[in-house]
Amino acid sequence: MQGTPAARPQADPAFPPPPPLAQLAAPRSRPDGTQLMIEQMVRDAHARQASDIHIRVGEPPRLRIRGQIVCLSDHVAVSPELFEKYLTEMLSEQQKKQFVEKKELDTAIYYPGFLRCRVNCFETLTGGAIVLRLIPLDVPSIDGLGLPPVLKHLVTYPQGLILVTGPTGSGKSTSIAAMIRELNESDSRHIVTIEDPIEYVHASGKCLISQREVGLHTHEFHEALRAVLREDPDVILIGEMRDRITVDTALKAAQTGHLVLGTLHTKSAIGTVNRLLNIYNPDEQQAMRTQILESLISVVSQQLLPTTDGRRTAVHEVLLNTAAMQDYLLKGQETDAFQLMETDTNEGMQVMNQALCELILLGRISPDDAVKASPDAGDLRRRVRNEGYDPGRSSNREFDPTAREYNPV
């Protein structure tokens, strides 16, 4: 596992290297001649295949490109006056006033025909700061992202709870957007999303899709949660399961005939059940364990790793709440539950090390990156050795070199 990494495939002509900033278009302007500085920065970042832009008073802007922060050395440090111009370009007067009063603001900006940006403004020791997350207008598909095919089956359930988990920036929202697209293309339901803020924008297809943004379409997240069951939904995207009220609402909806999608910041599928239980008092946990497991359809745990061709890909652990799995989890037999995930692959389950081993054998990720992401590096090394991995070959199995890069939202 510590030997020579897999050789990198030749550059894919479908993904040419981005041009340097000096070759990009000159700053765009409004009809009154005012420069659109943020818009130009967004276009430059998009050309460089960046996922985020970081702006902070006292420092030059930075981009996050394939997980790494890159300083734009050809930009000057942002002055307080320039920062104020950035805010004026992006925000309404009411939003600027809210930022001054609360010292932070979440919103989004839209460039028609190009992309959207999720925007967070906040104060730091050196002054104001802005982070923009670039969000494509085209909603990715499950196949295009290389997500486990079992997700197509999961979204056909009429009711229950599906959780996508992982650390911040692992692409949970992107995976859920792909699941909603699958529903929109294959079924006829009413989908209601409660987002803070809206990220991917979905146009109604076979489904009617109602997207609500906290602060724009509802004053409070919990108010929208209380109202959502009166909006005749079939599918509800709650987003982050952030507290007891959110979990209670999700369970109530899942138990009353709705399919609920949500996210959690947990590292493993089995650990997700314990994370939900820890929201409740110890004397409530046994009863809540039963409620959660009666509602749960699946937990998909996700990480994002760099690929050997300089892009990124998501790797998944999948727990399906089959009758046997539910029995193990109700009894707290987590070791047996883990072994079932490992062996019941015909159902679509897999543990993280199985997914990591497969990507190593495909030549998609390096052994070193896989070890860093593995919950049990020793077990991963044994799996790879047993498969007869040869680090001298550029690819141990066939894979699609034109697969879409996974940019998280």
Residue 220's pLDDT is 84
CA distances from 67 to 13, 70, 230 (A): 22, 10, 41
One-character DSSP codes across 27-42: PPB-TTS-B-HHHHHH
Say yes or no to pLDDT of 1 above 60: no
Q: What is the pLDDT of residues 148-206, one digit of tens each?
A: 999 999 999 999 999 999 998 899 999 999 999 999 999 999 999 998 878 889 999 99
pLDDT, mean of residues 109-122: 92
Question: In degrees to the nearest 10, what's the CA dihedral of 320, 322, 327, 332?
Answer: 0
Q: Which of 37 and 398 is assigned the larger pLDDT?
A: 37
Q: How confident is the model at residue 26 (pLDDT cuts 50, 70, 90)?
A: very low
Which residues have a Cβ under 8 Å from the Cβ of 311 and sit 6 or more positions away? 15, 66, 405, 406
Say yes or no to pLDDT of 323 above 60: yes
Give 142-350's CATH code, choosing from 3.40.1280.10, 3.40.50.300, 3.40.50.1980, 3.90.1300.10: 3.40.50.300
Q: How confident is the model at residue 131 (pLDDT cuts 50, 70, 90)?
A: very high
Residue 390's pLDDT is 57
CA–CA dist 93, 105 (Å, integer) = 13
Say yes or no to pLDDT of 25 above 80: no
Q: What is the pLDDT of residues 339-377, one digit of tens each?
A: 999 999 888 999 999 999 999 999 999 999 999 999 999
CA–CA dist 146, 164 (Å, integer) = 15
CA distances from 58 to 74, 81, 83 (A): 15, 11, 10
Say yes or no to pLDDT of 218 above 90: no
Per-domain boundaries in the chain: 40-136, 142-350
pLDDT, mean of residues 260-267: 94
Are 194 and 231 in contact by the 8 Å Cβ rule? The answer is: no
Beta bridge partners of 165: 264, 301
pLDDT, mean of residues 371-397: 78
What stretches of 229-309 show up as alpha helix (H) in DSSP?
A: 244-255, 269-277, 285-295
Are 407 and 306 in contact by the 8 Å Cβ rule? The answer is: no
Put the strands of the sheet holding 127-136 in their side by side order: 68-71, 59-65, 52-56, 127-136, 115-124, 104-111
- Identify the CATH number of the domain defined by range 40-136: 3.30.450.90
Residue 71's pLDDT is 92
Residue 290's pLDDT is 96
Q: Among 2-16, 27-41, 250-264, whose mean pLDDT is lowest?
A: 2-16
Q: Among 108-117, 248-257, 329-338, 375-384, whose mean pLDDT is lowest?
A: 108-117
Residue 405's pLDDT is 62
pLDDT, mean of residues 248-266: 94
Residue 311's pLDDT is 86
Residue 195's pLDDT is 87
CA–CA dist 173, 164 (Å, integer) = 8
Percent of the chain clearing pLDDT 90 (strictly above): 70
Please give the model's pTM, rounded to 2 decimal places: 0.81
Say yes or no to pLDDT of 392 above 60: no
Q: Which of 253 and 240 is assigned the larger pLDDT?
A: 253
Residue 352's pLDDT is 97
The number of CA neighbours under 13 Å toward the Cβ of 323 is 0
51: which 2 tokens?
A: 């996922």
Q: How confident is the model at residue 20 (pLDDT cuts 50, 70, 90)?
A: very low
Residue 216's pLDDT is 78
What is the identity of the amino acid at 157? Y
Average pLDDT, the chain: 86
One-character DSSP codes across 123-176: EETTEEEEEEEEEESSPPPHHHHT--THHHHHTT-SSEEEEEE-STTS-HHHHH
pLDDT, mean of residues 269-285: 94
Q: How confident is the model at residue 108 (pLDDT cuts 50, 70, 90)?
A: confident
Residue 391's pLDDT is 59
Give the helix/strand (H/E) hosting 261. strand 259-264
